[in-house]
Amino acid sequence: MSDGCVRALIEAIHSSPSQAVLYLSGGASQALGWLMSAPGATNTVLEAVVPYSRMSMIQLLGKVPAQFASRQTAEDMALLAYNRALKLSKPGAAVLGLGFTGSLASSHPKLGDHRFNLSTRTSQRLYVSTVTLSKGLRTREEEDRVSSLFLMKALADACKVPSTVGTELTETEVPEVYESQFAEDQELDQLLSGEICFKVYPFSNGTSKGDRKIILSGSFNPLHDGHLKLLEVASSICGDGYPCFELSAVNADKPPLTVPQIKDRVKQFEKVGKTIIISNQPFFYKKAELFPGSAFVIGVDTAVRLINPKYYGGDYGRMLEILIGCKSTGCLFLVAGRNMDGDFKILEDFVIPEELRDMFISIPAEQFRMDISSTEIRKQERL
């Protein structure tokens, strides 16, 4: 297979909208070099990690795998890579995770097979393949090339890029392939179970500048004009960024939302053309881990709860530790005034710990004020 064909395929991959995180161990090293040496690599590669040592792989997986070079390990790596890609990309980007683990020729003869396992994961598809190579047919470098070509074809397929590049496998080296497609309900089930960290519905038509997410979290039962106006005002204060709404399907005090409930609430955002992220994290310190560097838009009532030691087991030091951790991720809180016990309150009405003051930014009442809540709207609808 000519290097020109490989080069053309890489250029096509880099021209596609897909972005990837790749975790590779035990082979396919040439593929990484090919990808990174071609112009446009930043369009495709969000991150590439080589967990080569035993301890590196254990730390990546968070467990000791039954087998390091196995189909299951490749699948686990791809899922981790996919979740990582979600966190690193802009909302709605086409992302994928790729996991590769191999046991190729080494300086000492192997008792077992020479093989590699590859998996790709997207929002709608899981692909896993195991290839057993003919022992003694190739050098280590040649086996690495074959695995690299196989990886490039799998990556192109996940990016929906046509490929005519051959893998240089022999007729007896037939891949064992498993593939599964996910419907929307299955994705949401995976979200509720914690398998994937969030799902994005990119209904917004406009483009955004900058990488910062400007996130208005809520239950949106129902979505109303106050939510839309508040995010608009917050976005104007932040400047460049990607405005979006976020709904946690998991509530700290209530049962999790069902799949039909999630889909019903999502429809509200489709109607108004606004991006909504569905997550499984009800707490802001966990949201900060999911969306580092984001600006969260909250009401002052939420801000008061955030700095109240009562919600941290009565431990003031614990409250500071958690919120300083949020601050270290680059997160901010844009705080709108709210009616509290019959009085309209703003951020300046409360004492913010000195260590956290620059993390909280007040939204002036003259720019946004709305006294009615979703709860009150639901009450009016029942009348």
pLDDT at 383 over 60: no
Residue 365 placed within a domain: yes
Residue with tokens 């037939």: 174
Residue 23 lies in a domain: yes
Q: What is the CATH number of the domain that holds 345?
A: 3.40.50.620
* Whole-number pLDDT of residue 342: 87
Strands 19-25 and 338-340 turn out to be unpaired
Contact 120, 98 (CB under 8 A): yes
Q: CA-to-CA distance for 369 and 226, rounded, in angstroms? A: 8
Q: What is the pLDDT of residues 337-354, one digit of tens each?
A: 999 988 999 999 999 999
Residues 328, 324: Cα–Cα separation, whole Å = 6
Sorting pLDDT into bands at 50, 70 and 90, what band is 2?
A: low
**Which one-letter amino acid corresponds to residue 302?**
T
State the pLDDT confidence band at 380, using cuts at 50, 70 and 90.
Answer: low
149 and 272 fall within a common domain: no
Q: At what angle do helices 29-37 and 3-15 cross, to 10 degrees?
A: 60
Question: What is the pLDDT at residue 378?
Answer: 53
Specify whether 125 is located in the same domain as 34: yes
Name the residue with higher pLDDT: 294 or 375: 294
Contact by Cβ (8 Å): 2, 118: no
Q: Report which of 203, 43, 186 is spatially closest to residue 121, judged by C-alpha positions.
A: 186
Please tell me the number of Cα atoms within 13 Å of 358 on its side-chain side: 5
pLDDT at 262 over 90: yes
Tell me whether residue 245 is in a domain: yes
Q: How confident is the model at residue 224 (pLDDT cuts 50, 70, 90)?
A: very high
Mind listing the pLDDT tens digit for each residue in 88-147?
A: 998 889 999 999 999 999 888 888 999 999 999 999 999 999 999 999 999 999 999 999
Rounded CA-CA distance 90/242 in Å is 8
139-194: pLDDT as tens digits: 999 999 999 999 999 999 999 999 988 899 999 999 999 999 999 999 999 999 99
Range of the domain at 89: 3-182
SS3 151: helix
What is the spatial distance between Cα 303 and Cα 282, in angstroms, rounded to a whole number?
15
Tokens coding 76? 């686990």
Distances (CA, A) of 383 to 20, 264, 376: 51, 22, 11
**Which range, of 54-68, 129-143, 180-194, 209-223, averages the lowest pLDDT?**
209-223
Q: Which of 158, 182, 206 is the last residue of a domain?
A: 182
Q: What is the pLDDT of residue 211?
A: 80
Question: pTM for the full model?
Answer: 0.93
User: Looking at residues 64-85, what average pLDDT do you find?
Assistant: 97
Average pLDDT of span 41-51: 97
Q: What is the pLDDT of residue 381?
A: 55
Residues 14 and 154 in one domain: yes
Taking a C-beta distance cutoff of 8 angstroms, is the pair 138, 124 a contact?
no
Are 178 and 209 contained in the same domain? Answer: no
Give residue 231's pLDDT: 96
Residue 237 lies in a domain: yes
From the list 50, 177, 36, 52, the residue with the least C-alpha distance to 106 is 52
Same structural domain, 86 and 127: yes
Of 135, 159, 182, the position where a domain reaches its end is 182
> In whole angstroms, what is the distance from residue 333 CA to residue 75 CA?
37
Note the pLDDT tens digit of each residue in 314-325. 999 999 999 999
- Asked whether residue 224 falls in the same domain as residue 351, the answer is yes
For the chain, the domain total comes to 2
The answer on 230 and 139 residing in a single domain is: no
CA atoms within a 13 Å half-sphere pointing along the CA-CB vector of 53:
3
Residues 170 and 217 in one domain: no
- Res. 3 pLDDT band, cuts 50 70 90: confident
- Do residues 257 and 159 both lie within one domain? no
Q: What's the CA gap between 333 and 157, in Å, rounded? A: 40
Of 69-73, 216-220, 239-243, the one with minimum mean pLDDT is: 239-243
Percent of the chain with pLDDT over 70: 95
pLDDT of residue 204: 87
Strand partners, 334: 297, 361
* Region 76-92 average pLDDT: 95
| Residue 92: per-residue pLDDT | 86
- Rounded Cα gap, residues 183 and 260, in angstroms: 14
Of 134, 183, 172, 173, which is closest to residue 150 (Cα–Cα)?
173
Structure token pair of residue 21: 């995180």
Please state, as a whole number, how many other Cβ atoms lie within 10 Å of the Cβ of residue 212: 21
CB 9 within 8 A of CB 156: yes
